[in-house]
Structure 1
Amino acid sequence: MATEQELSDFLKSVEKRAFKRSIYHVRDEEAALDIVQDSMMKLAQHYGDKPAAELPMLFQRILANTTLDWFRRRKTRNALFSNMSEFSASGEDGDFDLLETLESLSNSEGTESAQDATERAQILHEIELEIKELPDRQREAFLMRYWEEMDVAETAAAMGCSEGSVKTHCSRAVHALSKALSAKGIKL
């Protein structure tokens, strides 16, 4: 059973990554913030008594379901008010760096030149742009497996699909990213 402190620490540890993941899905900063807050509230209200080890998988599933609910509400709202303009994708803000953890790890010694830092920042920006272009399920699987560092079984449970589907989505995402980055002359 998770203590209040464990729950609080868990939520603090995932809030930034969850927000960035939501931004990739809904492409609207305010909506992404609402989704993450709703997901955190649901976890605390309904699953706060679960063991701390179960919280990451539960939260990922709640976040995925809350995001799907947002899309359903948006679709319904658009159908009811067909004259409403489509929501803008103003959430694409250059302030967010998907791979900031990787960036900080790769420069932990502080020996990087300004030119190297600039090139690395450009490459990371290109990777982030290409991740945004992946189909939803591929992006979701890719982010859970390689960014959230969830294993195949956890990702499958969180996405509500088979482990084979997760592997397929990840393989296709990696292939698409590799192809897109190679076309831009970026070799990793």
Structure 2
Amino acid sequence: MTADTAPQPDLPEALDQFLASVERKAYRMAMMAVKSDADALDIVQDSMIKLARSYGHYQGTEEASQWRPLFYTILQNCIMDFHRSQSRWRKWFVAERFLPGNRSDKDEEGELEMAQYANQQEFSPEQYLHTEQLGQQALAAIEALPLQQQQCFMLRSWEGFSLQETADMMKISTGSVKTHHFRALQKLQQVIYEQA
């Protein structure tokens, strides 16, 4: 995001620094969840605006330390709102594709492209290139995870939130967080094992 898309022009310096520190990870998380650059940017920007409006007045170290869990909770809510709105849209329009004469191969193109991306190989004797390739395949595997598994993995493994914090942010039980996180790790371990 550029300076002209910042949530508010008159943000306190501490909040501005906080938002700058989470911007890239939040974008990556949103991008994996919605698979659209424009939608991911909108989600991150909306999350930043909501944090700034509701909690931008927080002053002092103790209050400011609450920004991180609050921001990721807001981000999760925006991602889920996006998926709910997409689900409502599909209920009205997706059935038309399956009427006689309306069937096409376009529905499978996205899945095929993702599979091709996940299976891309850059052959090189250098270990660095192998590691980079493995990282790309792991990212593709994360992107392909069901949404709740993906978000549990991102919050727990990438952001380092506790079990309870993740459950609170996603509004699910700690048991569900454990299950989703475990299944995500299994899938990633499978990718790493197959490519090792």
**How far apart are 1:73 and its partner, in Å?**
2.1
* Aligned match of 1:54: 66
* Aligned match of 2:47: 39
**How far apart are 1:79 and its partner, in Å?**
4.0
Say which of 162, 178, 188 aligns to 1:167.
Answer: 178
Say which of 138, 151, 162 aligns to 1:140.
Answer: 151
* Aligned match of 2:192: 181
Report the number of matched residues. 161
Specify the code of the residue in structure 2 equivalent to 1:76. R
**How far apart are 1:48 and its partner, in Å?**
1.4
Specify the code of the residue in structure 1 equivalent to 2:71. F
* Aligned match of 1:68: 80
Provide Cα deviations, 1:23-82, integer angstroms capped at 9, x if missing partner: 100001100000000010000001213411111111111111111111222233344555
2 CA distance for matches of 1:73 and 1:59? 21
Larger Rg: 2
1 CA distance for matches of 2:195 and 2:43? 36
Say which of 168, 172, 182 aligns to 1:157.
Answer: 168
Gaps of at least 5 residues in structure 2 are: 1-10, 98-105, 115-124
- Identity %, equivalent residues: 34
* Aligned match of 1:127: 138
1 CA distance for matches of 2:136 and 2:70? 30
* Bigger proportion of residues as helix: 2
TM-score between the two structures when normalised by the length of structure 2:
0.73
TM-score between the two structures when normalised by the length of structure 1:
0.76
Gaps of at least 5 residues in structure 1 are: 94-113
2 CA distance for matches of 1:61 and 1:125? 27
Relative distance call for 1:80 and 1:165 in structure 2 (3 A) is closer
